[in-house]
Structure 1
Amino acid sequence: MKLQQISLNRLQYVESGQFINRFLTDFDSLGLDPSEDPEFQLSYDSLKEQAVVYELALMQIRAKAASGALAQLDQVRDQKFATLRQALLVHRYTDDPAEKSAYTLLRIVLKTYRDLIRMNFEAETLAINTLISTLRSAQYLPAIQTLGMENHITVLETANEAFKGMFDSRSTETITTTVYDTKMLRKTILNTYTELAQYCAIMAKRKNTPYYNQIVTAINHGRKYYADILAHRSGVADATPDA
């Protein structure tokens, strides 16, 4: 039996992990005993161990990406808070008595929250919620309406909710302080997989037994699936297989 051609080096980091896990899952579903071939089992066990470490490395990448996105959302809500304060300052020198009174009242409130952007994530979220509730209360809403600042409050609320949504949905999985060399881990695990796949193909051709034939069939299912993904991504058939 021949192996389905695929360029493993074109798989993205996450796809590489999914590709390996696909094989491990497909093999488990066969109900075969890996110890039937000690050499196969050695590579198979190594692949399983590497898959666990590689997943930890991917989790670290995702955590860093989430942290970056979270920081951007925090910056956005800080900007919206600054815009709210600037909207109030526009009325600083107004000659209209009603606007002057509204400005004085709201200035006292916003002054209380002037250090808001220096707070930690959770504290800032709570502070913004409290500020918005205060500004929409019966005591301060008339002043907000007088100065036409309702939209600025809504925009700030939207930005804060966007931050809160991402913050609350962060993975609760613990990311260790270990720094993983994801590039090297990916190279190693794909090399181990390639050696295993090629070995199984050789044994299937040499012995032509159900054991190896089933394994190669399972291997090819995953290879065909991801080869199609790569071909679709590039718009052409994969012409440079490496395994």
Structure 2
Amino acid sequence: MKLIEISTTRLQNLEVGQFIIRFLTDFENQNLDVATDTDFKRLFDTLKEQSPIYDAALNQKRAKTESELLLKLDNSRDKAIRSLRRAHSVFEYTDDTTEQDAYATLKIVLKAYKDIQEENYEAESLGIDNLIVELRHAKNSSAIQLLGLERHINKLEETNNAFKNTFNQRSTNTISAEVFNTKLLRKNILETYRNLSEYVLVMAKNRNNPFYTDTLTVVNNGRKYFADLLARRHSGQEANPEENSVVK
């Protein structure tokens, strides 16, 4: 009897969460009685309590990434708005009367949306949509074409759509107020798992009780799955030094 070796240095944070869930799920699916051993139950219950907290920390990390992406996309559309305004302002002092008329016509539209970049995310999205619709109205088409602003309007539409698509698909955890130390949570949950798996191995070797041998089989099933997953991964991939630990 032995435990299949698996190094957690090569498991990504998300995979650690899946690794733990795999064990908990497989164990419960076997209809084994966790109350058979009070020490095992204590470790099992601790692991079960840690799992959703760890997963919540990962969700928060993903939410932070989403927030950073939204900020980047919002900055892109703000630049597109400024580019449109600057392209329009080029004709402020033109001597061409036709261009002067086109400039004046579009100035009225742009002025109505002068503070659009200061609005909240959703209000800015709607405001840009409305601005684009108004600029593309038939009454403004000749002015747009004369001043060559169509490409700037297209760019604004493109950046606004990119922002809206990401914003609408964002995780509901983006607004989470909870703060988690993912590194510490990872360390603790793997330590609990290691204690549990080593305890099961010792008991399976020294007690004539199918509960321990069956549980050891469950433990090893998950370990083999993730060990095989890691074996298929590119051998040159480096582990995160902050996550350096081995579950044997």
Is TM (by shorter chain) over 0.5? Answer: yes
Partner of 1:37: 37
Tell me, what secondary structure is at the counterpart of 1:205?
Answer: helix
In the other structure, the counterpart of 1:162 is 162
Of 8-17 and 98-107, the range deviating more from structure 2: 8-17
Aligned counterparts of 1:71 and 1:203: Cα–Cα separation in 2: 53
CA distance in 1, matches of 2:223, 2:115: 56
Question: Alpha-carbon deviation of 1:163?
Answer: 0.7
Q: Aligned partners of 1:241 and 1:183: how far apart in 2?
A: 15
What's the C-alpha RMSD, in Å, of the aligned pairs? Answer: 2.1
The one-letter amino acid of 1:155's match is: K
Q: Distance in 1 between matches of 2:175 and 2:212?
A: 38
Q: 1:32-86 deviations in whole A, cap 9, x for unaligned?
A: 1111121111100000001121122112111111111110110011011111112
Q: Distance in 2 between matches of 1:35 and 1:236?
A: 44
Distance 1:174 1:155, change over 3 A: closer
| Structure 1: gaps spanning 5 or more residues | none
Q: How far apart in 1 are the matches of 2:236 and 2:79?
A: 45
1:56 maps to 56
Where do 1:142-181 residues align within 5 Å? 142-173=142-173, 176-181=176-181
Deviations 1:66-113 (A, max 9, x none): 111110110011011111112212223333332221111111211222
Which AA in structure 1 matches 2:67? S
Segments of 4+ moved more than 6 angstroms: none
The alpha carbon displacement at 1:9 in A equals 3.4
Distance 1:182 1:175 in 2: 18
Structure 2 matches for 1:1-243, cutoff 5 A? 1-173=1-173, 176-207=176-207, 209-235=209-235, 241-243=246-248
Distance 1:79 1:93 in 2: 23
Deviations 1:128-148 (A, max 9, x none): 011001011122122112222
SS in 1 for 2:5: coil
* More off after superposition, 94-103 vs 194-203: 94-103
* Native 8 Å contact 1:59 1:175 kept in 2: no
Looking at structure 2, the residues matched to 236 and 148 of structure 1 have their Cα atoms a distance apart, in angstroms, of 51
Equivalents in 2 of 1:77, 1:176: separation in Å?
Answer: 26
- TM-score scaled to structure 1, two decimals? 0.91
Relative distance call for 1:175 and 1:195 in structure 2 (3 A) is farther
Q: Tell me by how many angstroms 1:221 deviates.
A: 2.0
Asked if the contact 1:9/1:242 (under 8 Å) is kept, the reply is: no
Distance in 1, Cα, partners of 2:153 & 2:5: 57
Q: Aligned letter for 1:123?
A: A
**How many residues are matched?**
242
Give the residue type in structure 1 aligned to 2:133.
Answer: S
Cα distance in 1 for residues equivalent to 2:236 and 2:105: 66
- Unmatched tracts of structure 2, length 5 or more: 240-244
Supply the distance in 2 between the matched residues of 1:98 and 1:198 (Cα, whole angstroms). Answer: 84
Give the alignment's TM-score, normalised by structure 2.
0.89
